[in-house]
Amino acid sequence: MSFPQQLIDGYRAFLVSRLRHEQDRYRALSESGQSPQIMVIGCCDSRVSPEVVFDARPGELFVARNIANLVPPYTPDGAQRAVSAALEFAVQALKVKHIVVLGHAQCGGIRAFAEESAPLSPGDFIGHWMALIAPAAKAVGPRGERPLEQYLAELEQTSVVKTLDNLMTFPCVRILVERGKLALHAAYFGVATGQLSVWDSATGRFSAVAAEEHARMFGSPRF
Ligand SMILES: [Zn+2]
């Protein structure tokens, strides 16, 4: 099977647009190395690319993506742990100043967990992985009379906040946070609206970023 034509076409577009404008930057970054100030932990979801949402240039974001933007608690058990390795590199080698956990609406992993539906099944990697959602599900409580979409949004948002707790179980993170050298943030992207919200620990709520610009350009969300 040949290399996907879509990617070849995309690369051609990259050559004549982005690379033409960013070539000097790529060259400089190849010589100096990367020194991003921000790590983003995002979902694998193809609709929620952190570099696109934050309009990031090369070298600006250190991104780790996994199903449902989760971070397992600190477990130094010798297993090969991709998230832990990325986190350790970001914090200890790159010395990022911020870690942003970026959740999103209509997350398939969260929905599968909530509905105990496919692609979850005993023995699969994803079922075991999504068990990390359990503390958030407990905090949100049973769905009860809540509409499914509302319940899922609450679960998605609570999971992002709970993931900050898991980040704090890593000694290298906790020490730097306590020294004021590293900040943790929870964010949430509405796929349908394109609205970004950020967790405010003072109010215990997510609040919209650039809400006025968003409303001016796209109108108010219908719900
Ligand atoms: Zn997702």
Ligand 1 centroid distance, CA of 112 (Å): 10
More confident residue, 222 or 211: 211
Under 8 Å between Cβ of 172 and 166 = no
Ligand 1 centroid distance, CA of 151 (Å): 15
More confident residue, 223 or 113: 113
Burial track 190-215 (b if 16+ CB lie within 10 A, e otherwise): beebebbbebeeeeeebebeeeeebe
Residues in the chain, total: 223
Ligand 1 centroid distance, CA of 161 (Å): 15
What integer pLDDT is reported at residue 220 of this predicted model? 66
What confidence tens digit (pLDDT) does each residue in 111-162 have? 988 888 766 666 678 888 999 999 999 999 999 999 999 999 999 999 999 9
Ligand 1 centroid distance, CA of 163 (Å): 14
- Residues of the chain with pLDDT > 90, as a percent, come to 88
What confidence tens digit (pLDDT) does each residue in 186-220 have? 999 999 999 999 999 999 999 999 999 999 998 86
**pLDDT at residue 7 is higher than 90:** yes
Ligand 1 centroid distance, CA of 167 (Å): 18
Ligand 1 centroid distance, CA of 149 (Å): 14
pTM, entire model = 0.94
What integer pLDDT is reported at residue 221 of this predicted model? 58
Ligand 1 centroid distance, CA of 100 (Å): 15
Ligand 1 centroid distance, CA of 54 (Å): 17
What integer pLDDT is reported at residue 223 of this predicted model? 43
What confidence tens digit (pLDDT) does each residue in 67-98 have? 999 999 999 999 999 999 999 999 999 999 99
Ligand 1 centroid distance, CA of 69 (Å): 7
